[in-house]
Amino acid sequence: MGLINRFMDIVAPPFLLIALFFFLPPFYLYKLINSFLSSRFPEDMANKVVLIVGASSGIGEHLAYKYAKRGAFLVLVARRKKSLQDVARMCRDFGSPSVLAVPADFTNPEECQKFVNATIKSFGRLDHLVNVAGVAALPLFEEIAEPSHFQAVMDVNFWGPVYTTYFAIPHLKKSRGRIVGVTSVSAYTNIPRMTIYNASKGAVRNFYHTLRIELGAEIDITEVIPGAIESEITKGKILTEEGRIVVDQDLRDASVGIVPIERTRDFARSVVERVCNGASCVIEPPWYLGLYYFRAFIPEVTEWGMRLFYVTPPGVPATEDLAKKLMDLPFVKYILYPPPVRSPEIKRD
């Protein structure tokens, strides 16, 4: 066995590089042609059923509006009842023929089964499952007193989508539907102070990728990779170690830094359009693809840059990092952050 592995060490790298050289051009030509054809014949969402988990605010809310404008029946799930009802009302105004709002805790498998069953009972089918919900925590890992205090991050970002997907798969198979899973660019770039968050998004990313292989052509899966998008997280909403939800915009500035934040409506329009065109992966804004390649090919440089901007020496608070100092320069925040993100107000109920 040792001899076989040593032989493979010598033969495999040049063979794979040569194969890649010949395979990539026709493959990308195929993808280009397929993308062009898909854009000419997008999926018609009229009278199809879309279940959105995490629909009460931010990305989930605006995805709901875009699906509503395409005439889809909607099932909206979130914990905040009043906010969810407000979004449902707007979706009806935008053109959805029927909207079912289901307040539920999607980290509870029994409640996930109930709202999936409610979808089938109300509409008889399920075409798109959209898993959006997410929560962030921003301490350096060594600052955490007890890692288990952040179990909720994994529950919301990973187990919630897993439970919902598990119960939705039999119905999606019948309609040959689609799973739309929202991960995060930080799962690829490994932004400091988001260790637990990055791990949860990396876990759900690999869940979707593996599931795509297992399901084959029975269910399509689109991974949506948001960069810095206008949402409650980019407003500074975080989970503390005590389990409280707070808004800390100074810590937000220290963690996001001088990165332009895209408006949610623009993000949602692009995502739903590309989902309906059959994309398997959507990076939005697209310029983040450059960061992905940077991280893949020269990881040491990426890691150095992350430490330079986002890591402070021991004993120095996060709000003293270089990213925060740059954000405090005159007019920088007003140029890079849209007005809603500069407000600390979030939906509470």
Is 70 exceeded by the pLDDT of residue 187?
yes
Q: Which residues are catalytic?
A: 197
Lowest mean pLDDT among 11-20, 48-57, 178-187: 11-20
User: Which tens digits make up the pLDDT trace of 210-230?
Assistant: 999 999 889 999 999 999 999
Confidence at 146, pLDDT banded by 50, 70, 90: confident
Is 80 exceeded by the pLDDT of residue 38?
no
Tell me the β-bridge partners of 187: none
- The total of other beta-carbon atoms located within 10 Å of residue 33's CB is 10
- Higher pLDDT pick, 124 / 239: 124
Strand order of the β-sheet with 220-226 is 99-103, 73-78, 49-53, 128-131, 178-182, 220-226, 281-284
Peptide bond into 285 cis (omega under 30): yes
Taking residues 173-199, report their average pLDDT. Answer: 91
H helices of the chain, where? 2-40, 58-69, 81-94, 109-123, 151-154, 160-175, 186-189, 195-215, 232-235, 249-256, 264-276, 288-297, 299-310, 322-327, 332-336, 339-342
User: Which tens digits make up the pLDDT trace of 83-109?
Assistant: 999 999 999 999 999 999 999 999 999
Confidence at 36, pLDDT banded by 50, 70, 90: low
Q: What is the pLDDT of residue 168?
A: 98
Is 80 exceeded by the pLDDT of residue 309?
yes
Query: What are the structural domains, with CATH classification, of the chain?
Result: 44-286+294-342 (3.40.50.720)
Tell me the β-bridge partners of 51: 75, 129
Residues 161/207, Cβ–Cβ less than 8 Å: yes
> CA–CA separation, 92 vs 100, rounded Å?
10
User: Which tens digits make up the pLDDT trace of 153-169?
Assistant: 999 999 999 999 999 99
97-to-70, 72, 84, 193, 295 alpha-carbon distances in Å: 10, 7, 17, 43, 44
- Higher pLDDT pick, 3 / 208: 208
